[in-house]
Amino acid sequence: MAEKKEVIRKPGVAFPWEGKLKELGEIKGDAELIKKIWEDVDALAYVYIWHCLLSF
């Protein structure tokens, strides 16, 4: 049986920045600005997912 990897996330995070950074590769530009925008959008997605789960 294959072993499961346990993903550790901070509360309120759907897709961690560190994982997305691996997908993106090298960033040309302001990396901190991109990180902040990613985390803001990710937080909205997290709230939306919980809203859908709890409302219906």
pLDDT in tens, 26-51: 999 999 999 999 999 999 999 999 99
Give the integer Cα–Cα distance in Å for 50 and 26: 32
| Section 14-23 average pLDDT | 91
**Is residue 11 a contact partner of residue 29, using CB atoms and an 8 Å limit?**
no
**Is residue 8 a contact partner of residue 39, using CB atoms and an 8 Å limit?**
no
Give the integer Cα–Cα distance in Å for 49 and 56: 11
Confidence check: pLDDT of 16 > 60: yes
**Is residue 16 a contact partner of residue 49, using CB atoms and an 8 Å limit?**
no
